Amino acid sequence: MKNPTRKLFNSSRTVLAASLVMALSLTGVAAASLYAVGPPKYPSFVTAMCPPEPTGPLEAAPTAIEGGRTVSLTFDDGPGPSVPAIMNVLNTYHIRASWLNDDTHYPSLMTQEFNAGYLMGNHTGNHHLLTGLTLGQQLAEIDRTIARTYGLTKTSACVFRPPYGGFDNNTIKAAALRNSGMWMWNDGTGDFLAQGSGSAYWVRHIWTSAVGTGLKLSHVVILLHDQHHTMPATVAALPIIIQHFLAHGYTFVDLLGRSGAPNTCPGTNPGPLAGASTSITSGTTLASGDSRVSPNGEFTLKMGSDGNLSVRITDGRTLWSTNTAGHPGATATFTGDGILKVNDGGTTVWSSTGTGATSLNLGNNGNLATMQSGTVVWQSNSIWSKMLSGDTLRTGWSVYSANGLCSLTQTSSGALRLRSPNGMTIWTNGVSASASPSTVMSRTGSLITSQLVGGVSRAVWNSQMTMHPQDSMTVSSTGHLVFATLGGTTFYQTP
């Protein structure tokens, strides 16, 4: 591809010079100054944590785990004053969308977008036409919004759209250097031409343009705008667009392919044990040194010689205990009436609550529970939801959110995958490492994925968070990996 430049209106692939000039003049960007070329003004992990996407222009919406046809709503040029009204429509229908922002005049609105669970994207710093600029100049424009997004939301802007759809080989290189998917569109609405009008003409023009082209496609990326003035026609047309696509069986996805309501891990609640569990029947006694291991080998329930019954990560730290150390020789019994007890001779020094349970279960998420006919009677609430310095994810092991819905798994292919109960990938580092992969939370604060080569562990991916020793990583109940300092201050969240 030799210096391609592209501006798509509806499904047209023709460069419409007159429309491009109109767009430049309407937005007043023709005279905008370029940002100074220089090193990025944000930490390296901000782009290192972007999920991998193909290099080059993308314009067909991602597929969904539900299968079938998909549609992505994308909003350029914001945030603008219509953000709350647009989000109100999206929330009404419980669907995701992607915001392609520039160097915003409304910083609080960018924060609102991320806090509501939407994907944050990059539309460059000052909306300058990128074609013909040097690689350094284009990177400076892209970096401006990456830095701005991280500064306001502590997340990455991992999807990118060049202003006016104009790009050349340097644009493709710049997006690749920032680990950012370069997203175009295949269904334009021309809503920016309304210039703040809310007339019936513009409302109809916007929704008929979107529907007329989109319903002919299987995977639709709709171009809408959220400019620095109000967009009443766009807001009014949006529910009509959504209703038409829902009526025709489309699934709404963001540009990372995530469906369902924002800030959720879609799927059926796996319950307090999150999958398979090791069951202990009533009447069983664990003497000093006796143990049981979860089906995935990740967690161990052990009766210690000091009298403490604990659940711990195998060969790692303790997640839960009865705090009964000081009673050497004590035993743990799951009694016939469904209570777990720690006994020192004839004295009960600790017991669970509730009666009637028929099994004691150690789940694949580290939780311990007494159960009766699938109903929880008591549980330890020891779900492994946080990695600390020195913790390791081995192949097949997972860290869960506190609600049990989201799980970060070290896959056998080498990739870390944050998933929902229905198997949808929410985030991944995209690593390929088939030789006994594992990921450690290093003592310098980085997540490091390694594989064994000739018996030697070699790193294949590094989150590059080396400036924060003793950090923690938590799997949130809203589908993010949250990295925090020792004092609990969040310094990064995945998209």
For the segment 48-82, what is each residue's pLDDT rounded down to a tens digit? 999 999 999 999 999 999 999 999 999 999 999 99
Question: Residue 236 domain-assigned?
Answer: yes
Question: Residue 9 domain-assigned?
Answer: no
- Report percent pLDDT > 90 for the chain: 84
Q: Looking at residues 95-102, what average pLDDT do you find?
A: 97
Q: What is the pLDDT of residue 268?
A: 81
Q: Looking at residues 18-33, what average pLDDT do you find?
A: 47
Per-residue pLDDT for 6 more than 80? no
Q: Looking at residues 242-266, what average pLDDT do you find?
A: 97
Q: What is the pLDDT of residue 466?
A: 79
Q: Looking at residues 96-110, what average pLDDT do you find?
A: 93
A 10 A CB-CB count for 292 gives: 19
Do 318 and 421 belong to one domain?
no
Q: Confidence band (pLDDT; 50, 70, 90) for 4?
A: very low
In terms of residue numbers, what domain contains 393? 386-493
- Report percent pLDDT > 70 for the chain: 94
Q: What is the pLDDT of residue 28?
A: 42
Do 137 and 173 belong to one domain?
yes
Strand-pairing partners, residue 311, are 301, 320
Q: Confidence band (pLDDT; 50, 70, 90) for 11?
A: very low
Per-residue pLDDT for 31 more than 90? no
Do 282 and 186 belong to one domain?
no
Q: Looking at residues 427-449, what average pLDDT do you find?
A: 90
Question: Residue 266 domain-assigned?
Answer: no
Q: What is the pLDDT of residue 256?
A: 97
Q: Looking at residues 229-238, what average pLDDT do you find?
A: 98
Instruction: Please name the residue that has the structure tokens 């869960």.
Output: 400
Question: Residue 210 domain-assigned?
Answer: yes
Q: Confidence band (pLDDT; 50, 70, 90) for 32?
A: low
Do 467 and 353 belong to one domain?
no
Half-sphere exposure of 297 (CA within 13 A, CB side): 4
Q: What is the pLDDT of residue 332?
A: 97
Residues 6+ apart with CB under 8 A from 202: 191, 193, 194, 233, 237
Q: Poorest-confidence range of 24-33, 45-54, 69-78, 390-399?
A: 24-33
Question: Residue 11 domain-assigned?
Answer: no
* Distance separating alpha carbons of residues 174 and 40, to the nearest angstrom: 12
Do 207 and 333 belong to one domain?
no
Question: Residue 1 domain-assigned?
Answer: no
The overall average pLDDT reported for the chain is 91
Do 245 and 118 belong to one domain?
yes
* Distance separating alpha carbons of residues 100 and 77, to the nearest angstrom: 7
Q: Confidence band (pLDDT; 50, 70, 90) for 143?
A: very high
Do 135 and 117 belong to one domain?
yes
Do 161 and 237 belong to one domain?
yes
Q: Looking at residues 153-178, what average pLDDT do you find?
A: 98
- Structural domain tally of the chain? 3
Per-residue pLDDT for 488 more than 80? yes
Q: What is the pLDDT of residue 281?
A: 94
Question: Residue 265 domain-assigned?
Answer: no
Q: What is the pLDDT of residue 26?
A: 43
Question: Residue 260 domain-assigned?
Answer: no
In the DSSP assignment, the letter for residue 275 is S
